[in-house]
Amino acid sequence: MESVAFIQWCLDHLNYWTITLLMAIESSFIPFPSEVVVPPAAYKAAGGNSDLNVFLVVIFATIGANIGAIINYYIAYFVGRPLVYKFANSRFGHMCLIDEAKVQNAEHYFDKHGALSTFIGRLIPAVRQLISIPAGLAKMKLSTFLLYTTLGAGIWNCILAAIGYYLQSVVPEEQLLSTVTEYSHELGYCFIAIGVLVVGFLIYKGRK
């Protein structure tokens, strides 16, 4: 209950530091959707009733996403596959909405698509938070990992911020999260399709 109260306090007092903190939590193994952070911050920035700037919201949200991703990366890098799967099968892992099937799915996605999966995975629901784990297990070069993570997280945060900014003049604040969730799910399916096409093209080009 204390952790829930802390997160709610952060959401009620959105600033660049709480945005960074919440996005770091979102990008780690702790379940917390980015849809409840970036769009409300952009919504407030559009309303002109806060000190928030929509461009800085995106920047700090991306910094937070990188922090959380690095945490996952190094945990997987140093503890290795057996302990990662042991955590996934533990009660605490299940409390974090992680299980063996989800980790296997992320690892399979990484193995199938290579380094590009770190970028594409940041745009796909259910893979976004966990794609850093197989990157760490594979001991992917940190600079490459950060490049793809920053690009993927940055694009996703730009999309969420654009939705929140646009909705400020369209829907009341109490309907914001439900509307954003609906949009983000549709966008997630679009990115899955785009990812499949991109990877398919790269495979075809490589074979050719």
pLDDT at 97: 54
pLDDT at 3: 46
Angle at 194 between CA 189 and CA 200, to 5 degrees: 130
**Distance from C-alpha of 96 to C-alpha of 93, rounded to nearest angstrom:** 5
Query: pTM for this one?
Result: 0.74
pLDDT at 58: 95
The domain ranges of the chain are 2-169+176-207
**Distance from C-alpha of 54 to C-alpha of 123, rounded to nearest angstrom:** 20
pLDDT at 1: 44
What confidence tens digit (pLDDT) does each residue in 162-191 have?
A: 888 888 877 777 777 677 666 665 665 565
Q: Rg of the chain over CA atoms, in angstroms?
A: 17
pLDDT at 93: 57
- Asked whether 20 and 64 are in contact (CB, 8 A), the reply is yes
- Asked whether 184 and 160 are in contact (CB, 8 A), the reply is yes
**Which of 99-108, 113-122, 178-187, 193-202 comes out lowest in average pLDDT?**
193-202
pLDDT at 40: 86
pLDDT at 2: 46
Task: Please give the share of the chain, as a percent, with pLDDT higher than 90.
Answer: 12
* Cα torsion 122, 124, 125, 127: sign: negative
The tokens describing 160, both together, are 């969420």
pLDDT at 87: 61
How many Cβ atoms are within 10 Å of 48's Cβ, its own excluded?
A: 8
pLDDT at 36 over 90: no
